[in-house]
Amino acid sequence: MAKIKPRIIETDEGIQGDFNVTTYDKMQRRLRDKGWIETNRIIAFGIDSGLALEIGPGPGYLGLEWLKKTTNTHLKCVEISRDMIEIAEKNAKEYNFIDRVEYKQGKAEVIPFSDNMFDAVFTNGSLHEWPDPMKAFNEIYRVLKKGGKFFISDLRRDMNPFMACFLKINSQPKEIRPGLISSINAAYTKEEIVVILNKTPLKNAIVSKNMIGIEIKGIK
């Protein structure tokens, strides 16, 4: 088996700047329009009611689609980038969900919400940017109610290189492609994540991998 290259850390400030956030929004909007935002996996795990927290929502489509596909649900989000929050708030208005969602600037490592507050926590594509995932996993445990569920998904660095190439050439707009490759290079392998999880209260999580990523899910 080929040796896996070490992680190349991408950023510890999140996605900033008008060009970067607009390009990211265009990519995610296109995926949303094609029905490729993976909200159904979160709902299939039983995250379908109450108050949820999303970490690193970016332009917000995952959470907004979750609100659209569930009833009587509410969402709070913690996002490091002010620029992303501006786009997410604009998108929330377009969905007509401003009374169901709140975006707060902050970090996964210091979640700006109280203990035992959420029925669920979910996040996609953000983990590889967190400077200290162990701290973030402790925080996820802290803000979850007892019996609350968590669902964390991200890319994985050890995906098949042909798959990485396939993803790259199919990513639109094409300006997003360098960012996609740097995200893959910064992403964790399943084995690396298990080592980190084992040092946190999320150690009983189910960790699985698919063609392009990893999923971490469990119950407090």
- Minimum distance of ligand SAM from residue 219's CB (angstroms): 22
Mark the segment that binds ligand SAM (CB under 6 A) among 53-61, 64-72, 92-100, 189-197: 53-61
Which positions from 8 through 27 interact with ligand SAM, judged by CB under 6 A? Answer: 14-15
- What distance in Å separates the CA atoms of residue 111 and residue 178, rounded to the nearest whole number? 29
Q: Does 79 bind ligand SAM (CB under 6 A)?
A: yes
Hey, what amino acid is at 209?
K
- 125 contacts ligand SAM (rule: CB under 6 A): yes
Residue with tokens 């390009």: 23
Question: Quick one: which of 64, 108, 140, 159 contacts ligand SAM (CB under 6 A)?
Answer: 108
- Residue from 42, 47, 52, 62 touching ligand SAM (CB under 6 A): that is 62
- Cβ distance 113 to 75 under 8 Å? no
Torsion sign (Cα): 28, 31, 36, 39: positive
CB of 144 to ligand SAM, least distance (A): 17
Are the beta carbons of 47 and 220 closer than 8 angstroms? Answer: no
Contact 106, 84 (CB under 8 A): no
SS3 186: helix
When asked if residue 47 is in the footprint of ligand SAM (CB under 6 A), the reply is: no
Residues that bind ligand SAM (CB under 6 A): 14-15, 28, 55-58, 62, 78-81, 84, 107-108, 124-126, 129-130
